[in-house]
Every structure is written in structure tokens, then in C-alpha cells.
Amino acid sequence: MRRALHWLATCATLLLASMPCQAACTVSTTSVAFNPYDVFNTLNNDITGTVTVRCNPSQAYTLSLSKGAGTYASRSLVNGPFILGYNLYTDAARTTIWGDGTSGTSTVSGNAKNATHTVYARIPARQNARMGSYTDTIVVTITY
């Protein structure tokens, strides 16, 4: 089974009053493409992806991720009616869920001209999943 997580990058700009925005930031991503999932493996299926921010000039920003097909507590890779649970984290220990700051999730902040942030992903072991391709789409929002 091959799983891929597709990213959709968006940009949200916060403007105060009617002042023109002085900075311009863009976001690009590398997909999280999990290794084939083995339902009998007792180890979690861990992988990483990246979110790259480029601002001109250097700018403070916050990155948030959408829920995708599931919830923040358990995102869902979907194959028709079949679901494979996974999640995205801000830390290598995979203890802090990357979300929008609600429901116990955290966002990632930075203040740079160019920065790359690692997305830590995990499919927990021992899920009863059917063979096939499972996907989800996550929206990345940058606020600056």
C-alpha cells in the first residue's frame, strides 16, 4: 500500500487598517509519502516532510495546518470508504500535533527571510487496513 499526503499551500495576509502590506511571503512544501504500510508490523510508520517559507524582507509569521479528512486528534488517510489513521507533529518525538492552535494543537512560528520547517508524520502501528492507495490533503496557512 502506498500512501501520499498532498499539500495545498495558501497564504493568508493580515492587514491592519488600510496600510499596504510591506512584506511578501510564500510557502512551498514537500509531500509526506509514507512507506508501504504493513498491518502486521509492530513499529509505527514514521516519515517527514517540509514546509519552506520565503519572505521578502524578513518577516515574523505563523504556520498552521488544516485537519484534512479527519480531526486533529486523528487525521485520516482515505481510500474510498476505508480509513488509515495518521497525524502530523511539530517535534521529532511526535508528541505535539501540528494544527491551527485549537483542540490541543500547536502552530509553528518563525521570523526569517528563508526557513524550512520539518513536518513529522506518523501512521500508528497495527491498524486493520485494506490494501490500496490512501490519501489526504492538508492546507498550509501562513499568517504574517
pLDDT digits (tens, 9 = 90+) for 83-95: 999 999 999 999 9
Q: What is the pLDDT of residues 59-72, one digit of tens each?
A: 999 999 999 999 99
Name residue 6's beta-bridge partners.
137
Cell numbers found for residue 56 = 521578502
Start-to-end Cα distance in the chain: 38
Over the stretch 95-140, which tens digit does the pLDDT of each residue have? 999 999 999 999 999 998 999 999 999 999 999 999 999 999 999 9
The pLDDT, as a whole number, for residue 83 is 97
DSSP letters, 84-113, are EEEEEESSTT--SBBSSS-TT-B-EEEEEE
Largest CA distance in the chain: 58
Question: What are the grid coordinates assigned to 15, written together?
Answer: 492587514
Q: Distance (Å, rounded) from C-alpha 85 to C-alpha 74?
A: 6
Q: pTM for the whole thing?
A: 0.85
User: What would the grid cell of residue 62 be?
Assistant: 505563523
pLDDT of 16: 38
Residue partners of 108: CB distance under 8 A and separation at least 6: 51, 62, 63, 90, 98, 117
Structural domains in the chain, CATH included, are 3-13+23-143 (2.60.40.1090)
What pLDDT, in 10s, does the model give residues 25-56?
A: 999 999 999 999 999 999 999 999 999 999 99
